[in-house]
Amino acid sequence: MSWRTVPLHKVASLESGFGFPREYQGDENQEFPFFRVSDMNIAGNEVFMENHSNTVSAAILKELGARAFPAGTVIFPKIGAAIATEKKRILTKPATYDNNVMGAVPKAGTNPKFLYYWFLQLKLSDQANPGHVPSIRKSVMEEIPFPVVAPSEQFRIVELLDEADGLRRLRREADAKAARILPALFLKIFGDPATNPMGWPVEPLTKICSPKQWPTISSKELTDSGFPVYGANGTIGFYSSYNHEQPTVLITCRGATCGTINVCEPKSYVTGNAMALDEPDLGKTSLEFLACYLNVRGLNDTITGAAQPQITRQNLQVVTVFVPPPGLVADFSRHVRAIKDLLAGVQSGGDRLEDAFGLLLQRAFSGQLTGQWREARMQELLAEMRQQALVLHLPIPTELEALS
């Protein structure tokens, strides 16, 4: 038996968020969380939106012309480079979100976790309007085909996927511990950039290197092979030419991930959503040292713009870098490369786990995952499916007529 599909709006209401003026931000003690795209990056919010930076009262919601959405709503970015992060999250309590976010509120008969897992296998980038600032239209999302699956089978699919996702959660926890290794090593050797307890000489970042940006490549120019293109979220595709012969440190300079630090490989292209710290003075620093220094220091003081966060070259004028002895920097860089080689092996195992989970999602929403289970419970499933057809105002298939 193959599942029928209906437009997504039949099983979930697609709801855009609301404007969130700066003067209402910063209060963490009111009734309703007010989420922004950046809150999806907070530790602990990898699936469920448990943690928040802003809350509002019912009175403020009314004043803003906003409303709270129920627990179980699946939210995702709808504007800008954040769409490419493919983040989907679930509200755990009544909450609202800003106008860079869209949510799918499940209707009766739709298991919120089933809806969430369905969204995991949906590529948001494919639904976005191409352009300098990509966006997702509510009308487009509403018409995406969604499988009509009996509630008990939805529950069974969620059960199986939850077990698999538990392994992914353990892997994320291991990754989080691994991510703390390099900052801890940096602090032990060099001290905190904020206080410079070792008294290292200090120089402006813009004298140590030359921050540069290049034009953004449109999605139509990206291919599946060639030289890697780096943007706001690491590697985003491939291109036929490159603007970097050597590796360089990247700062994400626009969007929800603004301020993220990465290192790109040689022979690559960097789009306008990221700034490359080119021509580093290797007599005073190294790529490994510079990337770790900026990650430990953080760049929050250089970010401007609430609706569309950005970092400009001028913003970086305030950033200073301390300059330890070259031998110490070289030793640290060797340690970093050795640790990264070890972590690459861990990452390879994690990638295989992600591939397996992706295959499981594909099987779940093609009906293969619960095929045997479905056969053993066919009569009760047929009864549930008939009830679903009535609720969704769908014609009742011939095989269900006998249950009338």
Query: Which residues are paired to 261 by β-bridges?
Result: 251
Cα dihedral across residues 33, 37, 43, 44: positive or negative:
positive
Summarised one tens digit per residue, pLDDT across range 271-317 is 888 889 999 999 999 999 999 999 999 999 999 886 678 899 899 99
Range(s) of the chain covered by CATH 3.90.220.20 = 1-146, 192-324
Residue found under tokens 């953004």: 216
161: its two tokens: 């996927």
Distances in whole angstroms, Cα of residue 248 to Cα of each of 112, 214, 228, 289, 354: 42, 14, 13, 12, 28
Helix or strand (DSSP H, E) at 234 = strand 234-239
Confidence check: pLDDT of 165 > 80: yes
Summarised one tens digit per residue, pLDDT across range 132-159 is 788 999 999 999 999 999 999 999 999 9
Pairing of strands 274-278, 269-270: unpaired
User: In this structure, which topology does domain 192-324 adopt according to CATH?
Assistant: Adenine-n6-DNA-methyltransferase TaqI; Chain A, domain 2 (3.90.220)
Which of 261, 264, 280, 276 has the alpha carbon at shortest distance from 215? 276
Give pTM, 2 decimals: 0.65
CATH superfamily for 1-146 is DNA methylase specificity domains (3.90.220.20)
Summarised one tens digit per residue, pLDDT across range 44-84 is 899 999 999 999 999 999 999 999 999 999 999 999 888 98
Summarised one tens digit per residue, pLDDT across range 352-376 is 888 888 888 888 888 888 878 877 7
* pLDDT at position 403: 47
